[in-house]
Amino acid sequence: MLGVTVRRLAAALPTLVGVVIVTFLLTRALPGDPAAYFAGPAATQQAIAEIRAKLGLDQPLPVQFLDYVQDLLRGDLGLSITTGQPVLHELTTRLPASAELTLLGLLFAGSVGITLGVLAALKQNSWLDNLCRVVATLGVSLPTFFTGLLLIYVFYYLLGWAPAPLGRLDAFASPPPHVTGFYLIDSLLAGDLETFRSALAQIVLPAITLGIFAVAPIARITRGSMLAVMGSDFIRAARGHGLSGRTVVVAYALRNALLPVVTTLGMVFSFLLGANVLVEKVFAWPGIGSYAVEALIASDYAPVQGFVMTMGVLYVLLNLMIDLLYQVIDPRVRLEA
């Protein structure tokens, strides 16, 4: 397994190099002048030129790129001109908020999607199968920002069941002591049930908003994979040996149907990391998505480049985890590797 990990990381290096180059070039091609934004609307051309020189933007693109790569190798992602803080500090501070929201959304999507897919495969052409198709169609048809606004309108404005969509905690709660950066986990570790309830109440609606879109592909892939496995010879042999229906479905059919489902979960997680940008803006969630959007509006290069680099590294690590999980689910993959 160690050899597989090393090979996958080595194969990912060209991808990361490409991400660095493309991100650098795209940020320079964006409209707007960060020096003019930083200087303010009343600044003179001389002041803007001085700020541009101070930021190194007056240098040729190859020189700027070499400086950027040198800083990147030192672990320096630059300084945000909008917040005045190091980008690495901002990303590490905000990443747990985005990761907590994305993981909870994936947990919701995975539990609902896999359950619907299995039931639809077992009850083919029944009302459960039709329900799975309806949910899949609705899930991919509704934009995440519309779903979020709809949930806020119903559960906050009309019913009053949900708290105001104003971040990770309500106005009367204090963040728990920092351990993992995940408020739900840190509050439990601190034994602070009040903060846990507040964090859970705040994250439910954005997590459901993020997860609803991901239910559709998971349910469809699970249903198709389960239908293919349920018609296999080894399933008929297991039933012929008198095994219970639950054992056949869970221990044999579902395990063999999980490989394409795991692949879909990885793709969905990658998508949710990007899709949470809109959800964070709707629910005022202080994650890296909203941070990148604000930097993009201000033509702030460093945060945008840091955000894309972070996403690239997360995607590589996610694909590595999927490859390793394959070997746990199906030993044949381990032998082939």
Q: Tokens representing 235? A: 């399933």
How buried is residue 87: exposed, middle or buried, by Cβ count under 10 Å (0-12/13-18/19+)? buried
pLDDT surpasses 80 at 224: yes
Highest mean pLDDT among 17-31, 40-54, 183-197, 275-289: 183-197
Q: What integer best gives the mean pLDDT of the chain?
A: 81
212 Cβ contact list (under 8 Å, min separation 6):
109, 139, 142, 144, 147
Residue 312: which domain range?
96-336
Residue recorded with tokens 């790129």:
65
Q: Helix 2-29 crosses helix 301-329 at what angle (to 10 degrees)?
A: 160
Closest CA to 318 of 256, 274, 254: 274
Cβ burial, residue 225 (10 Å; 0-12/13-18/19+): buried
What angle is formed at CA 40 by the lines to CA 34 and CA 41, rounded to 5 degrees?
Answer: 110
Secondary structure tally for the chain: helices H, strands E: 15, 0
Number of domains in the chain: 1
Residues in Cβ contact with 131 at an 8 Å cutoff, skipping those fewer than 6 apart: 116, 120
Instruction: Flag whether pLDDT at 335 surpasses 50.
Output: no
Give the closest residue to 212 by CA, choosing from 304, 147, 154. 147
Q: What tokens appear for 102 in the block? A: 């994305």
CA distance 57 to 30: 13
Question: For the residues 50-71, what does the mean pLDDT come to?
Answer: 80
Is residue 42 domain-resident? no
Task: Give 67-87 pLDDT, tens digit per residue.
Answer: 888 888 887 888 887 777 888
Does residue 83 fall inside a structural domain? no
Structure token pair of residue 61? 């693109």
**Which residue has better confidence, 127 or 155?**
155
Q: List the CATH number of the domain containing 176.
A: 1.10.3720.10
**Identity of the residue numbered 168:** R
In a domain, 210, yes or no: yes
Domain assignment present for residue 54? The answer is no
Share of the chain above pLDDT 70, in %: 91
* The two structure tokens encoding residue 150: 């709809």
Does position 137 have pLDDT exceeding 60, yes or no? yes
In sequence order, what are the beta bridge partners of 79?
A: 86
Confidence of residue 16 (pLDDT cuts 50, 70, 90): confident
Q: Does 11 reside within a domain?
A: no
In a domain, 90, yes or no: no
pLDDT tens per residue across span 231-265: 777 777 877 777 777 777 777 777 778 778 887 88
C-alpha closest to that of 283 among 217, 201, 225: 201
Burial annotation 148-162 (CB, 10 A radius, 16+ → b, else e): beebbeebeeeeeeb
- Residue 315 sits at the vertex; the CA angle it makes with 313 and 320, to the nearest 5 degrees, is 95
Tokens of 19: 């991400």
Kindly report, residue by residue over 296-323, the tens digit of the pLDDT.
777 777 888 888 888 878 877 777 777 7
Reading the block at residue 310, the tokens are 């972070």
Identify the H or E element spanning 201.
helix 193-230
Return the amino acid letter for 131. L
Q: What are the C-alpha distances in Å from 232 to residues 226, 248, 258?
A: 10, 12, 15
Domain assignment present for residue 38? The answer is: no
Residue 21 lies in a domain: no
